[in-house]
Amino acid sequence: MTAASRCARAERILGDATPETATVAALLESLLSIPGTEIFHSLRLGGAAPASADHAVVRGNIVFLLEAQRRPSQSSTLHSAADEFRALLGPDIEVIPLVLVHPQSAAPCARISADGAHLATVGQALERVGDTLAYSFGDWRARPDLRASLVSTLA
């Protein structure tokens, strides 16, 4: 595929998406190639302090909550959202918050934000999430209860 055709394809898929959205779309497309992986978009939990996540990547009992930012210095509520999702999903589910930093910004020096979420570029996230999901192949089983809980949070 030529560079021009890749750009045309991205334009058809992403339209006028922001660089952060395009970055996450590329990551999610790659992760969907792992069998048993599901992706949810725009998750919201109500309550006194509403919690939200842009995306959730799910396989078995592992849930990665993803949020994209142009710069790692932006504050994030993803870590507190992860706490809320842990309370909803129960102790058997591992919920991992991951802030994706746009590749055109400087790579984050720290691996954990001041708010407690993991920081990663898309390449780092693909390796981290992909390795974690692939490692769980032997232990994987469908979790309709987890899926139903996440579907109930879709905005």
Q: What is the 3-state secondary structure (H, E, C) of the chain?
A: CCHHHHHHHHHHHHCCCCHHHHHHHHHHHHHCCCCCCEEEEEEEECCCCCEEEEEEEEECCEEEEEEEECCCCCCCCHHHHHHHHHHHHCCCCEEEEEEEECCCCCCCCCCECCCCCEEECHHHHHHHHHHHHHHCHHHCCCCHHHHHHHHCCEC
pLDDT digits (tens, 9 = 90+) for 84-120: 999 999 999 999 998 887 665 555 555 666 666 777 8
- 12 inside domain: no
Segments forming the whole domain that contains residue 136: 18-151
In a domain, 62, yes or no: yes
Per this entry, what is the length of the chain?
A: 155
pLDDT of 13 reads: 44
In a domain, 11, yes or no: no
Domain count within the chain: 1
- Give the model's confidence band at 1: pLDDT under 50 very low, under 70 low, under 90 confident, else very high: low
Any idea what the CATH number is for the domain that residue 144 is in? Answer: 3.40.1350
The answer to whether 62 touches 86, Cβ cutoff 8 Å, is no
What global pTM score does this model have?
A: 0.76
Domain annotation covers residue 4 = no
| Token reading at 114 | 């001041």
Residue 141 lies in a domain: yes
Q: pLDDT for 44-86, tens place per residue?
A: 887 666 788 889 999 989 999 998 876 665 566 888 889 999 9
